[in-house]
Chains A and B, each alone.
Chain A
């Protein structure tokens, strides 16, 4: 008797569990179908339509006239676009540096506090959970030159009315609303850093700043990188606070791409041009995401 070893054929049921059969795949697609349909309607459809309308002269109502790349050519030479992009850049630099620095400092301070830590975390977080419309409306009053905080302190400055300070003032409010959230996020990330690393650093004679730079920051790098990425995207989307507090004014001094797009679409009946501007911003965002992916693959994140 020859002993042969014949691999046992998997039972049908086992195969179905391992790799879905045709029927299983069909059931899967059926489950996915409503979501795909909805996705097609509200994401893919509008995306395709936006590409189409960015190539047209369209008021936002009625028929559109195909004009090729004219909207993009116009955008390149449009002073308003140049100014808005510059404001987005300023916004980005401020939004990236100030809240990040304050968030890291706040998280570090939180990690040092033993009593009332939850209270401080809640206090940091409160501005973030209040609706932007409310925050913006309240700060608009607080920044009034005739009855606001500055006026009470004897400072005669129209923060939102002076073209030199309007963008910075709105950015200050956004940073105020944002940094506490970052502090709590960074604090949570710091909790995950191995305490033994701090002990080892102490043994090596590292001071507080050196421990922060050499242990804490590398330990929370994935969180920092993620927040950096999101900051870029949020900067390009900046809209609500600016629209409520200054509407891009005075004289366009706080205009950013999103407010400019809105005005083009709804005030100036240039929805085709607004679509081109929106798509351009999407391309910029995609480029940022691509850079992020490249850096991730190279291990920068970890």
Chain B
């Protein structure tokens, strides 16, 4: 829509979401028209972001917003904080109503494709060329957000899965970090025998937590090569190696190794999982890199215990799978609203945020995992003050990419509906309502449908990547 009038389609679109109880403000805003314009590179840029907690928000305002505005005095970065679960719904509704923020904090790569296909995101290719973003960001991450030669978003954070462990507990018990399935299962059996639950985990506060586990088991049992072939469509998710991965996870649940049982995995709040992990009630916690920004609060004097934590790579669950191996993916994206009237100014922010390598590394050093944007850097460039455990994540991920020892996280490389099925269907498996074989068959069916519709991002190739 190019004119100032509200077209029939935009009226119906906006009103349709409003009819679902979702978009009245967007509808009203939509009456103002939907012109898109580059603007003159100055003025107010609206930015909705899911930074939660007073300390985190203060850091964002002090270390991101303020320096950007100082460097760009003619741009006012107007930031509004939301909870993550609310933000996606609000942004999606606003975009459809041709409203919303100038800078769009989007979901994972495959879901952002859906937004791009609906033409609610601006084409960033011109800005990428102008500022040479390709030389600043990792190629694999840029490619994941490129469709038909057009860049529609920038990758927000590198995600990988880590196995956190209670370092003090391990030392007290004389346990070694397991590197393969036999060692892992021996450790879990011993811990369980001593009344210590091997894995602390739950999906109570984040419904999609099941896909973290499937990501781990598919990558470390089936292996990234098999996943690559499945994601390319060369083999199917019905292949026994994928079914066996699911069956292995289910068997661990049946043994009570996860949070003490399936029913508890569904009902123990995340805060409680963290507290019990810090106290030594859980030996290990399978979580994403993002958990690094919270895990410290469950240990030491702040949590009234004398324990300490660390992380390890996941053990290889089959001899054919490499060790160490890091699943690779992107958590979220930053794009520009196609209906923004100030796209140049919004792009200036993205350029500032992604191309100042020194500032980006400072942020990575200050706040564990949160600001891990996929830029290329040498280990020597990481500030010395970084927590060694956080620093080790950065270097490990870099090495994995360079060596080709990386896998694929579901929330980046699976199409949206298949991704939802990964964790919703897993609930059916864990409660015994569906067999691993049927689960994989349904996943394959959904995946093939969406793949045929072209809803997959460009996949990281096997071998060393950039």
Contacts and interface: CB of A to CB of B under 8 A. Distances in A.
Interface of B: 9, 11-20, 22, 24, 27-28, 88-89, 92, 95-96, 114-115, 117-120, 203-204, 207, 260-269, 272, 276, 416-417, 420, 424, 427-428, 430-431, 433
Interface string A137-165: 00011011111000000000011111100
A35 to B, nearest CB: 15
A59 interface: yes
A131 interface: no
Contacts, number: 144
B114 A161 contact: no
A42 B27 contact: yes
A127 interface: no
A50 B17 CA distance: 8
A212 B263 CA distance: 44
Given A42-B24, A63-B9, 12 more contacts: A41-B27, A49-B19, A62-B117, A141-B269, A141-B272, A161-B262, A163-B431, A251-B431, A251-B433, A252-B428, A266-B88, A266-B89
A104 interface: no
A250 B431 contact: yes
A46 B433 CA distance: 38
A145 B267 contact: yes
A60 B420 contact: no
Nearest to B120: A61
Contacts of B16: 46, 49-50, 52-53, 58, 271, 275
Q: Is the interface of A mostly helix, strand, loop or mixed?
A: loop
A45 interface: yes
A60 B19 CA distance: 12
Contacts of A141: 269, 272
Nearest to A49: B15
Contacts of B120: 61-62
A278 interface: yes
Interface residues of A, number: 48
Nearest to A164: B263
A107 interface: no
Nearest to B31: A41
Given A46-B15, A147-B272, A162 B263 contact: yes
Interface in A105-152: 140-141, 143-147
Given A145-B268, A160-B266, A161-B262, A60 B416 contact: no
A238 B354 CA distance: 44
A143 B88 CA distance: 29
Interface in A255-269: 261, 263, 265-269
Given A42-B18, A59-B118, A49 B11 contact: yes
Contacts of B276: 146
Nearest to A247: B207
Contact of A61 (B19, B92, B417): B92
Contacts of B268: 144-146, 158, 161
Nearest to A63: B9
Contact of B264 (A46, A47, A146, A263): A146
Interface in A150-198: 158-163, 166
Contact of B18 (A49, A143, A158, A263): A49
16 contacts: A42-B24, A45-B11, A46-B24, A61-B96, A61-B117, A62-B117, A140-B269, A141-B269, A144-B269, A145-B267, A161-B204, A161-B262, A161-B265, A250-B427, A268-B416, A274-B20
A48 interface: yes
Interface in A211-268: 247, 249-253, 261, 263, 265-268
Interface in A18-63: 41-42, 45-50, 52-53, 58-63
A58 B12 CA distance: 12
Contacts of A49: 11-16, 18-19
B86 to A, nearest CB: 11
A161 B428 CA distance: 13
A275 B267 contact: no
B348 to A, nearest CB: 26
A294 B370 CA distance: 60
Contacts of B269: 140-141, 144
